[in-house]
Amino acid sequence: MGVRTTAARATAALGVAVLLASCGSGGDQGGEQPSGALEGRGEVTFATGKDTSGNMQKLVDEWNASHANEQVRIIELPESADAQRQQMVQNAQVKSDAYTILNLDVVWTAEFAANRWVVELPADQFELDKFLQPAVKTAQYRDKLYAAPVYSDGGLLYYRKDLLDAAGQKPPKTWAELTTACQAVKATQPAIGCYAGQFEKYEGLTVNFDEAVHSAGGDVVDANGKAVVDSPEAKAGLDALVTGFQQGIIPQKAITYKEEEGRRAFQAGELLFHRQWPYQWSLAGKADGSSQVAGKFDVAPLPGLNGPGSSTLGGHNFAISAFGKNKATALDFIKFFTSETAQRSNLLATSQAPTLASLYEDAELIKQFPYLPTLKESILSAKPRPQAVRYGDVTQAIQEAAYAALTGERTSDVALKELQTKLQELLK
Amino acid sequence: MTAAAQGSGTLWKRVLTFGGLGLILVYCLAPFYWMAVSAFRRPSDQFELTALPAPFSLDNLTAVFSPAVGFGRSLLNSLIVAGVTTILTLVIGVSAAYALARLHFRFKNAVAALIIATSMFPGISLLVPLLSLFTDIGWINTYQSMIVPSLSFALPLAVWNLTAFFRQMPEELEQAAMIDGCTRGQAFRKVILPLAAPGIFTTAIITFIAAWNEFIIALSMVNDSTMQTATVAISRFTGAYGFDQPFGTQMAAGVIVTVPLVVVVLMFQRRIIAGLTAGGVK
Amino acid sequence: MTAVARRARGATSGAGRLAAALLSPTFVVLGLVVGYPLVAALRESVFREGTDLDESGFVVEGARFVGVDNYTAIFVGESAARFWNAFGNTTVFTVITVTLEVLLGVGMALVMHHAIRWRGIVRASILVPWAVPTAVSALLWRWIFQADGVANAMIGQQILWTTEGWQAKFAVILADVWKTAPFVGLLVLAGLQIIPNDVYEAARVDGASPWRQFWQITLPLVKPALLVAVLFRVLDALRMFDLPFVLIGSRKESVETLSMVAFDEASSLRFGPAAAYATILFVYVAVTALVFVRLLGADVIGAARERARK
């Protein structure tokens, strides 16, 4: 019996299966329409990424103790941000009510809002003027509030205070100063790498590229949502990174760095300057032998082309799934989580940047986290990444262009032109 | 049963065999050794490159079993899911394979082709329709939502493999048994199954491990942490801060989920091989 | 041919009913978990989700029927380059990894089969790579291959394994072969174990060299088990996803496979095109399997029929 007959029969059998199944499908279309109203009280779930310190659970326990009929259950999603988004999108696609409250990365707001996966929140019920305004912006889509800002994040320039002091240098405000300072230090420390950020091809590269462009006075997307990345300023920003790699100011292997690889290099004393999030402060300062640089480093705002640079805004916001039940409880829980008490306890437990401005001026907290004033400055001058419904495509286009330029596969001119074309298409 | 080796006990052949064994051991275990070494380092010197952990530390292991993680429960869930999957796969797979190997019916080739065709679609693309289906029928947070997919991923290989093994058994053996008064079922159970034991056992191991290691379905279908499997639990290990990745803990958990499998296989295969020898293959 | 055999063949309709009973559990399970989603994906592949925004910024809901547009779009412009690159990677990975796995796996099985002592230990040890969860082993290899990792320390050079280029392909192939050669080894070993000893005895009496014994006795007898192992390795390798994804990263030209493209499209919410990619991959796998079956005669069941008719 020939293979052809076998194939034909298999096809026929498959065809029958198609017919059968097509009768039964279509159920996923006629589901009940999600309601935007924040109604209903009862049990809710809270889908979130890592609860590093267990403090989320602690706060949830606190809430549960006083809300016997409105219990909150944490659903822990995987450690990686992409996997978290994948789970949330999947559940939205099948209109599942499994998740009520979503812990969203700041760059997902537009996508989730525009697809109606999350509901609008009543802005008047949050005292938004008490929050850091850049953080509030990340929770909005077309000027409406879709999430409550809970964590913020901004990049800092970590530097080796001991080495700079020894070489008689001050923390740099511009890239030129950074290079000069590094050359001065290299006189005695020839092996040290000058600078690194996150240059692996992933979201971190978008963050670092945006920072370079903004810090050179350029923009990726302007205030009207138009792509403007083919400007001379943007080129100057990208070129700073490209020449950094070419001249060895940035070590070659930094092209493989995500946050953790860079942190290890900095902690091993291999880097003089390092662009990093605040989380590195506690880890690099550990005196248990894991960090060679404990007590030897400090932070400064990011440098720029002609003056202080501008960080890219990170952080997380809490939103309510359009398909979740008991949205009134969810709203109350979010208010509880964004309260000053909760944010303070979060900062103390996790050292994640809060979104309430007052906490950055709290003397007691500053004593424990001396970088808070610098961080506030960084966040207030920070620029968001493009707020796009198709953010996934936008960030991939940026990563393609930046990675090609950094690895020398394309010149920065060509890379930025291509990026401009793609962004225009995506942001239409 | 290893007469080839027994008969020719020349030094040369023994050297070759032992050399080969040594090579295999190194090849298979060197990366695993690195995993184990990483697991037994202190978290603070996680990224040292020394060949032995110095100092030796159980911190990572302790972290895996910290009460907040509930890893013991996850291991139990994995055991249930993989165990039930394996048993069902064998029962269903053996019947299907018997039909394909011994019975004469129309469309046999089409049936076999259709079974293997289900192994040809990218698994990652089945996820969303399956989630939609299981949500509709209320299977979220159940064992069957993990067992049934694992079963279906394992069945094509099991059926094909077992068919190949049954086909190798001379049909005359069964016929002889049937002449002796056995029914078709008895002949199969008493003659063919024991002879095909190596194939069945191997199928069981492969199915069990595949189910034990399944991740993406278990992650998507279950959101209740008391129902999660070990691989999902590992993906949820968090570092102490922000981006901090708990590499050591993950490696320790990797060792914990791997070693019991190997030990169990070691114990089982002794018995199986012993049983075979006792039964007298030929 | 014996009388019983003839009788069995005479009762084809009875056998058909029994076969249906024995096969139906398999089909119920496969139909539910693979059949239904597969049909759903096929249906999805002829629709396209709206990406337009209405005046207040909401995505206009509802998928539009687009016929074969999702398929034809794959072969135009930039996506064509991406598709063919992924197609090439998938093919190269499959050919190289499966070849290496077969050579290593058969070697492993032979050595284990001939060992008297240690066989249990070795057989349990070769399970280790296969038993380590893929997600954990990909992490392990990423750590081994990172810039300051043990791979570079051992060769005394700084190769950036996870950047674009041949080295990334090499890392994926090495990690995949490590993990799955034991799979082939196990299946082949099981095949070796059911070869009756008297076959070898006879060969030895005839004075056949070990080499001849391997080619003329062992290989033909172990062929069914080996071919099943290879066939399923081919199917899996063509759908390779986790390893390059975790070890090297998504959207890296050097290692992007067709499964990764399908996944990437779906996570960009282009479900129609994603389903089209998945369907094309499905067709590619099916064609490969058919060619394989025809060239190597791995059609275990078909062979059975033919032999029975002789």
pLDDT at C75: 94
Residue B276 placed within a domain = no
Name the β-bridge partners of B15: none
Residue B274 placed within a domain = no
User: Are B162 and B79 found together in one domain?
Assistant: yes
pLDDT at A365: 96
Question: Between β-strands A193-196 and A144-145, what pairing exists: parallel, antiparallel or unpaired?
Answer: unpaired
Q: In chain A, which residue's Cα lies nearest the Cα of C31?
A: A17
Contact A289 B45 (CB under 8 A): yes
Three-class DSSP category at A70? coil
Residue B117 placed within a domain = yes
Cβ-Cβ contacts under 8 Å for B116 (sequence gap 6 or more)? B156, B160, C231, C235, C289
Distance CA A134, CA A378 (A): 11
Q: In chain C, which residue's Cα lies nearest the Cα of B162?
A: C225
Which uninterrupted H or E stretch holds A317? strand A314-320
Residue B153 placed within a domain = yes
User: Are B182 and B75 found together in one domain?
Assistant: yes
CATH architecture of the domain A37-153+314-380 equals 3-Layer(aba) Sandwich (3.40)
pLDDT tens per residue across span C121-164: 887 888 889 889 888 888 899 989 989 889 999 998 889 999 99
A244 Rama sector, left if φ>0, alpha if ψ -120 to 50, beta otherwise = alpha
- Out of C59, C160, C271, the one facing A115 most closely (by C-beta) is C59
Amino acid residing at C214: F
Q: How confident is the model at residue B274 (pLDDT cuts 50, 70, 90)?
A: low
| Rounded alpha-carbon distances, angstroms, from residue C66 to A26, A79, C60, C78, C272 | 17, 37, 16, 20, 9
Given strand A72-76, what is the order of strands in its sheet?
Answer: A72-76, A44-48, A101-105, A314-320, A148-153, A353-354
Judge whether residue A33 has pLDDT over 50: no
Distance CA A287, CA A349 (A): 18
- Out of C147, C293, C294, the one facing A253 most closely (by C-beta) is C147
User: Are B143 and B161 found together in one domain?
Assistant: yes
Please report, for chain C, the start and end positions of each structural domain, with discontinuous segments joined by +: 14-44, 80-309
The C-alpha of B53 sits at a distance from chain C's nearest C-alpha, in angstroms, of: 14
User: Are B166 and B251 found together in one domain?
Assistant: no
User: Are B183 and B209 found together in one domain?
Assistant: yes
Query: Is B43 an 8 Å CB contact of chain A?
Result: yes
pLDDT, mean over chain A: 90
Max mean pLDDT range (A36-45, C53-62, C173-182): C173-182
The DSSP annotation for A370-387 comes to TTHHHHHHHHHT-BPPP-
Query: Is A252 an 8 Å CB contact of chain C?
Result: yes
Judge whether residue B282 has pLDDT over 60: no
Residues A69-75, mean pLDDT to the nearest whole number = 95
Q: In chain A, which residue's Cα lies nearest the Cα of B115?
A: A10
User: Are B80 and B177 found together in one domain?
Assistant: yes
Q: Which residue has the tokens 């799979």?
A: C183
Q: What ipTM was predicted for this assembly?
A: 0.86
The residue among A112, A142, A29, A71 whose CA lies nearest residue A322 is A112
CATH of residue B83's domain is 1.10.3720.10
Residues C110-118, mean pLDDT to the nearest whole number = 81
In chain A, what residues touch C146 (CB-CB under 8 Å)?
256, 261
pLDDT > 90 fraction of chain C, expressed in percent and rounded = 48
Q: Which residue has the higher pLDDT, C157 or A198?
A: A198
Distance CA B118, CA C33 (A): 9
Judge whether residue A31 has pLDDT over 50: no
Which uninterrupted H or E stretch holds A273? strand A271-276
Contact B109 C302 (CB under 8 A): yes
In chain C, what residues touch A400 (CB-CB under 8 Å)?
251
Distance CA A371, CA A301 (A): 10
The DSSP annotation for A207-218 comes to HHHHHHHHHTT-
User: Are B58 and B84 found together in one domain?
Assistant: no
User: Are B86 and B142 found together in one domain?
Assistant: yes
Residue B272 placed within a domain = no
Distance CA C197, CA C221 (A): 12
The superfamily in CATH containing domain A156-312+390-426 is: Periplasmic binding protein-like II (3.40.190.10)
Contact B120 C271 (CB under 8 A): no
Residue B195 placed within a domain = yes
User: Are B93 and B60 found together in one domain?
Assistant: no
pLDDT tens per residue across span B219-244: 999 999 899 999 999 888 877 777 87
Question: Between β-strands A44-48 and A72-76, what pairing exists: parallel, antiparallel or unpaired?
Answer: parallel
Q: How confident is the model at residue A215 (pLDDT cuts 50, 70, 90)?
A: very high
Which uninterrupted H or E stretch holds B219? helix B216-221
Query: Which two structure tokens, joined as six digits, stand for C172?
Result: 């994926």
Give the range of the structural domain holding residue B243, as residue numbers without chain letter.
1-69+237-263
Judge whether residue B50 has pLDDT over 90: no
The residue among C140, C98, C109 whose CA lies nearest residue C236 is C98
Query: Is C147 an 8 Å CB contact of chain A?
Result: yes
- Do residues A143 and A162 make contact, with C-beta atoms less than 8 angstroms apart? no
User: Are B96 and B156 found together in one domain?
Assistant: yes
User: Are B85 and B223 found together in one domain?
Assistant: yes
Residue B241 placed within a domain = yes
CATH placement of domain C80-309: 1.10.3720.10
DSSP B244: -
Q: Which residue has the higher pLDDT, A329 or A50?
A: A329
User: Are B96 and B185 found together in one domain?
Assistant: yes
- When divided into structural domains, chain B yields a total of 2
pLDDT tens per residue across span C222-274: 888 899 999 999 999 999 998 999 899 888 999 999 999 999 999 888 999 99
Q: Which residue has the tokens 């259950």?
A: A73
pTM: 0.89
Locate CATH 3.40.190.10 in chain A. Answer: 37-153+314-380, 156-312+390-426
Which residue stretches of A285-409 are H helix?
A: 327-338, 340-350, 363-368, 372-380, 391-406
Amino acid residing at A15: G
Residue B271 placed within a domain = no
Distance CA B107, CA B118 (A): 17
Q: Supply angle C-alpha A350, A352, A356, rounded to 5.
A: 125
